[in-house]
Structure 1
């Protein structure tokens, strides 16, 4: 029974170990030859979130997934794609969360509206509290 549990644990751990054992993508750590293209790629990578780290951009992260994303950005920039097109492609693939630049949509508008409403309510409460009554 103990041997079966060890075998099962080894089988479940194998896929996650395989992901980190893969060699990095060619452009994960190597810059593009054209300085203008590399600058455009770097600027875009600074505004994309690493999905594994979640607190770093893909330009700063050492996660293998961030390396793959850097590779995709660089080869697409080298192919002549517009950075906005690349951002949209990554957002369609990984979701809106991948971008540090928020997009207003039908599901995210409350995130933009609620702070404004709270400031207005606080302003009304302060005005009502501190205005002099005759």
Structure 2
């Protein structure tokens, strides 16, 4: 997962999740969940699709890792930068790729994340 670079697990997008997270959440839902799976996933999908506003605090944190964000072409820079500069507080950030992934997981369960179209594209 870290390609031999253990620093990646300390900060950045690979520091916040484990590969089994989707399966673990689905298992917990199967055992204890009351809401339909799609209804449970939908708020996260909607937030990714419609976006959220960069707060002053988020901007401060982005500034602390500015060089890393700008260097991550196609990843963090795609979300949090424009024209080589960090997006400012008040800017709405949308993540259509994440929204698509969450929609697939909502409709098809975790298998699509590991073995389906989502897994193939990771």
Q: TM-score range by the shorter chain?
A: under 0.3
Give the TM-score of the pair, scaled to structure 1: 0.24
Give the TM-score of the pair, scaled to structure 2: 0.26
More strand by share: 2
**Larger Rg, first or second structure (1 or 2):** 1
